[in-house]
């Protein structure tokens, strides 16, 4: 499939079917139906074969490149799939959904699937490409297209209040996945000395050194900075 066609679709994965993570580096995409057809020949078919579909199934195959940070694979969506390798039962399955990035209302689906993960080839040119088969486990469900253009982060709360240098705070909101490395979280205009994006809705960060009093918090992703969120540092 040409890249232009493959990249028309977006693929998300989830461990619970509620919190979704975008699969990055998509290079190829193919979804297919696997029907079971039973012969329905009768004399009335005038010698022609006839069939009836008695069961059906689905399969999604994707190929993607593996982004790395300091030589370590760093895509959270790929990590969810990779964790299902060499597993059995529920641990070998994930939820997956795919939809059109242009907002079309048809061709958008979600389902529960058994995962096969394989390195695509061993040639130097594509050694970093992985092929994953999502083998449908149960029905494939039509969904409303969930695509929304990327937006700057939004901070809704910061707890606990009045913390001092090196103490941890929890920043809640949205748009945190893709927070800019190193400079993505600032407190009173100073970079946090360490922070972790737990999910798209939660960051845990250390308070940097600074004076007590007003210290607005800003989170920045690839689309830009959030509005500053009022916060008061402790003495």
pLDDT tens per residue, range 28-47: 999 999 999 998 877 666 77
Detail the DSSP E strand segments found in 93-223: 93-100, 109-119, 129-136, 141-142, 154-159, 168-174, 185-187, 190-191, 195-199, 202-206, 213-214, 217-221
Residue 187 contacts residue 171 (beta carbons within 8 Å) = no
Answer yes or no: do 125 and 158 share one domain: no
Per-chain mean pLDDT for the chain: 89
Answer yes or no: do 132 and 175 share one domain: no
Answer yes or no: do 119 and 22 share one domain: yes
SS3 at position 58: strand
pLDDT at 208 over 60: yes
Domain that holds residue 94: 3-142
Task: Find the mean pLDDT for residues 225-229.
Answer: 95
At residue 123 the predicted structure's pLDDT band, cuts being 50, 70 and 90, is low
Number of domains in the chain: 2
Buried b (16+ CB within 10 A) or exposed e, 100-125: eeeeeeeebbbbbbbbbeeebeeeee
Q: How far apart are the first and last CA of the chain?
A: 60
pTM beyond 0.85, yes or no: no
| Predicted pLDDT at 74 | 76
pLDDT at 4 over 70: no
Q: How far does Cα 197 stand from its chain's mean position? A: 14
Residue 96 or residue 223, greater confidence: 96
CB-side exposure of 14: number of CA atoms within 13 Å? Answer: 14
pLDDT at 1 over 70: no
| Predicted pLDDT at 58 | 97
Task: Find the mean pLDDT for residues 97-110.
Answer: 91
- In this structure, of 7-16, 116-125, 183-192, the range with the lowest mean pLDDT score is 116-125
Answer yes or no: do 131 and 178 share one domain: no
């Amino acid at each position: 499939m040409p890249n232009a066609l493959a990249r028309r679709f977006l693929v998300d994965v989830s461990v619970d079917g509620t919190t979704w993570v975008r699969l990055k580096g998509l290079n190829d995409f193919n979804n297919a139906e696997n029907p079971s057809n039973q012969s329905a020949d009768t004399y009335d078919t005038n010698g022609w074969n006839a069939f009836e579909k008695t069961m059906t199934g689905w399969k999604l195959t994707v190929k993607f490149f593996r982004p790395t940070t300091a030589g370590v694979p760093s895509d959270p969506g790929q990590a969810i799939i990779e964790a299902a390798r060499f597993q059995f039962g529920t641990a070998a399955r994930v939820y997956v959904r795919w939809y059109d990035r242009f907002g079309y209302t048809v061709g958008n689906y979600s389902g529960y699937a058994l995962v096969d993960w394989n390195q695509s080839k061993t040639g130097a040119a594509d050694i970093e490409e992985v092929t994953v088969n999502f083998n449908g486990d149960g029905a494939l469900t039509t969904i409303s297209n969930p695509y929304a253009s990327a937006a700057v982060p939004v901070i809704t709360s910061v707890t606990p209040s009045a913390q001092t240098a090196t103490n941890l705070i929890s920043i809640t909101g949205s748009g945190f996945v893709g927070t800019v490395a190193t400079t993505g979280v600032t407190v009173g205009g100073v970079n946090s000395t360490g922070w972790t994006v737990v999910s798209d809705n939660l960051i845990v960060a250390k308070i940097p050194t600074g004076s007590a009093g007003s210290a607005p918090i800003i989170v920045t992703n690839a689309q830009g900075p959030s509005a500053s969120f009022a916060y008061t540092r402790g003495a």
